[in-house]
Amino acid sequence: MKKFLAMLLVVVMALAVCACGPTGEESTTAAPNNTDTSAAGKLLSDAFIDPVNDWAKYDKLIDDIRVETDKAKRTEMMHEAEDILMSNGAVIPLYYYNDIYMEKDYVSGMYANLFGYKFFQNVTLANGSKTLRVNLASEPDFLDPALNSSVDGACLAVNSFAGLYTYNAEGKTVPDLATGYTVSEPAEDGSVTFTVTLKDGLKWSDGSELTAADFEYSWKRAAATATGSDYGYMFSTFVGYPDNLSVLAKDAKTLEFSLVAPCAYIEGLMAFPTFFPVKQSAVEAYGDWQTSPGGWCTEAGFVSNGPFVCTGWDHDVSMTYEKNPNYHDAANVTVDKLEFMLSADDTAIYAAYNAGNVDIIDTVPTDEIANLLKTENKEFKIIDNLGTYYVAFNVNSKLFEGKTPAEAACMRLAFNILIDRNAICETVGQTGQVAASSYIPLGMADGNGGIFKPTADANSYYNVSGINDDFDATVAKAKEYLEAAGFKFGEDGKLSAETPIVIEYLTNDGTGHVAAAQIMQQDFAELGIQMTIQQVEWNTFLEERKNGNFDIAREGWLADFDDPINMLEMFQTSSGNNDCQFGRFDGWDTVAEETTAAEDTTAAAEDTTAAVEDTTAAVEDTTVAA
């Protein structure tokens, strides 16, 4: 027996040594600190870290925020994360969102929430029609709720699928397919277990039974690395994330899942489209479902479980949804049919609205807004949103070749302070948008009973009006940033031909997006920066951004729930929404796989150690008995 124990101990020691590879030193994360004493480094804040090769520190901080139970400390950590994010200049906020749309005066009952979702199931039309005609955007990228990452796609999802929770007309989370839930006291490791009870008689649109097992399948699928969901990280607070998710259907009506720590925004997660159920047999009936997970719902007739079901789809032209008789609350759905016009041409959309061909449109040409406001057109609506319109740099762009991390950051910060945000708000937005001085939007809760950014001037990273209040000083500061990055200037104050900056701005179609880009184009030209504007159609735009095929691009983020972690976790290295490509050096994904393998080895070593301890105890008990 002693020989057996000795062999086990050797195995444990060997496994422990194997587990302590390059990632072993990352068990604690040092506070970010800029120690670069170069000319560029001296211009950066102490929060600065290399956004490519040192981004693991940010990743670790976000992971720590997720499990922090001290609410005040958690809020401080989120401020620290925003400090790091803003220090490198790759995220350039322009203004805080509101939402505009137009709605015919005979339409009532449509409601929206702060996150941009529009709900149509309670619409009534005083003109006698039972069909609501809507434009949200152009051809949707994905209708699979696990794969969608656009606001218009989310609007389609909340009208065709249903989750455990949803939002009411007051913007509050309320049970949908659930009756409610209970949560356990924290275990010794801090984890908590939620138990959700589903309503009776739930069905899919094809009439088949919908049970807790459908949620187990759907959540595990959405979190799995093989699925490749942009929003897979939303499950990162679950025990066993990503590929051994702790979610279990205890019976047909009982769903149990465990999180690594208590979660104040759990209802917001359960109301988020990525957490909606999909029917396994429908998903896997598609021939290439393993390599093309969203392929099952690219044509009309796919199975869903919400107020409406897609019955017609003329790609790039229109979609038709009809009332789902198997929806659990079908008795309260007041409209029989939704007809969607698919277009991103806001001039054509506006013409269709004025011709009476659509009842609700989600965009208005920029040059029409002033007149709509002047005439006090009651069909023109302005509502609150919780989000930020911003510009993103690709930190791996060839624009930064040959530059140190600090020099590249100085280049981006020069762009940042040259932008006339007030002009963009006043001439492009025109509906009371607030110029943004930080990424976390104005009015977002801080998770500790307060507001993360209570006023426009709080937690500011730059003077949004600097280019107007003191033009010469702001341009001089931008020039200082660029000179520190190695650029030279001529006597005219513009970049010399020896060190030019030529960039391409990527945007989708839309008069507002293009107008904002044109203002920035003029602003950058003050120092001789040459920027061209490339417009591409919506789905191409999404893919180009996601894959990092751009220098600088227009971005916008509407919060998914009212907590800053939502705005911060999207920039972790492996996030599908990390358009800036933070942390993505060559081979970063291989390193991530090796890290996971090392963690698995460590866990195995710990299990073996526990087994040895149990065996030792048993031997000691036997010795005592002897």
pTM attached to this predicted model: 0.88
Residue 597 pLDDT: 52
Residue 469 pLDDT: 95
Residue 36 pLDDT: 86
Spatial contact of 65 and 78, defined as CB atoms under 8 Å apart: yes
Which residues does 606 contact at the CB level (< 8 Å), separation at least 6?
none
User: CA geometry: angle at 168 spanning 163 and 173, to 5°?
Assistant: 60
Q: Among 572, 573, 575, 531, which residue's Cα sits nearest to residue 553?
A: 531
- CATH class in words for 105-344: alpha beta
Average pLDDT over residues 279-289: 97
- The alpha-helical segments, DSSP class H, found in 47-106 are 56-67, 71-87
Average pLDDT over residues 4-20: 36
Q: What is the signed CA dihedral for 275, 447, 459, 584, rounded to 10 degrees?
A: -40
Residue 625: is its pLDDT beyond 70?
A: no
Instruction: Name the pairing type of β-strands 131-135 and 360-361.
Output: parallel
Quickly state the pLDDT bin for 410 (edges 50, 70, 90).
very high
Least confident range of 17-26, 220-229, 240-249, 487-496: 17-26
Give the single-character DSSP code of 75. H
Quickly state the pLDDT bin for 52 (edges 50, 70, 90).
very high
Q: What is the mean pLDDT of the chain?
A: 91
Quickly state the pLDDT bin for 598 (edges 50, 70, 90).
low
Quickly state the pLDDT bin for 595 (edges 50, 70, 90).
low
C-alpha distance from residue 333 to each of 111, 130, 375 (Å): 13, 11, 34
Residue 6 pLDDT: 38
**What are the residue ranges spanned by the domains of the chain?**
2-21+589-625, 31-96+383-585, 105-344
Spatial contact of 445 and 466, defined as CB atoms under 8 Å apart: no
Residue 34 pLDDT: 78
Give strand pairing partners of 247: 257
Residue 579: is its pLDDT beyond 80?
A: yes
362 exposure class (CB count in 10 Å sphere: 0-12, 13-18, 19+)? buried
Average pLDDT over residues 339-364: 97
Least confident range of 299-303, 381-385, 451-455, 596-600: 596-600
Residue 15: is its pLDDT beyond 70?
A: no
Condensed to tens digits (0 to 9), the pLDDT of residues 215-253 reads 999 999 999 999 999 999 999 999 999 999 999 999 999
Residue 591 pLDDT: 72
Quickly state the pLDDT bin for 35 (edges 50, 70, 90).
confident
Instruction: Name the pairing type of β-strands 254-259 and 192-198.
Output: antiparallel
Residue with tokens 């690594």: 260
Residue 32 pLDDT: 56
Give the single-character DSSP code of 316. T
Residue with tokens 């392929």: 295
403 exposure class (CB count in 10 Å sphere: 0-12, 13-18, 19+)? middle
C-alpha distance from residue 605 to each of 16, 600, 611 (Å): 6, 9, 10
Residues 471, 619: Cα–Cα separation, whole Å: 80
Instruction: Tell me how far the alpha carbon of residue 241 is from its chain's centroid.
Output: 18
User: CA geometry: angle at 500 spanning 495 and 504, to 5°?
Assistant: 120
End-to-end CA distance of the chain: 14
Residue 589: is its pLDDT beyond 90?
A: no
Residue 14: is its pLDDT beyond 70?
A: no
- Options 3.10.105.10, 3.40.50.10170, 2.40.10.220, 3.40.640.10; CATH for 31-96+383-585 is 3.10.105.10
Residue 431: is its pLDDT beyond 90?
A: yes
Residues 204, 584: Cα–Cα separation, whole Å: 41
* Amino acid at the residue 536: V
152 exposure class (CB count in 10 Å sphere: 0-12, 13-18, 19+)? buried
Residues 462, 457: Cα–Cα separation, whole Å: 10
Instruction: Name the pairing type of β-strands 131-135 and 337-341.
Output: parallel
Residue 259: is its pLDDT beyond 60?
A: yes
Residue 477 pLDDT: 98
Residue 390 pLDDT: 98
- The alpha-helical segments, DSSP class H, found in 365-470 are 366-374, 405-418, 421-423, 466-469
Condensed to tens digits (0 to 9), the pLDDT of residues 536-549 reads 999 999 999 999 99
Give strand pairing partners of 102: 361, 380
User: CA geometry: angle at 174 spanning 173 and 180, to 5°?
Assistant: 120
Spatial contact of 408 and 90, defined as CB atoms under 8 Å apart: no
Residues 414, 429: Cα–Cα separation, whole Å: 23
Spatial contact of 85 and 77, defined as CB atoms under 8 Å apart: no
Compute the Cα dihedral for 225, 226, 231, 234 and give only its sign. Answer: negative
| 242 upstream amide cis, omega within 30 of 0 | yes
Two tokens at 580? 């800036």
Percent of the chain at pLDDT above 90? 87
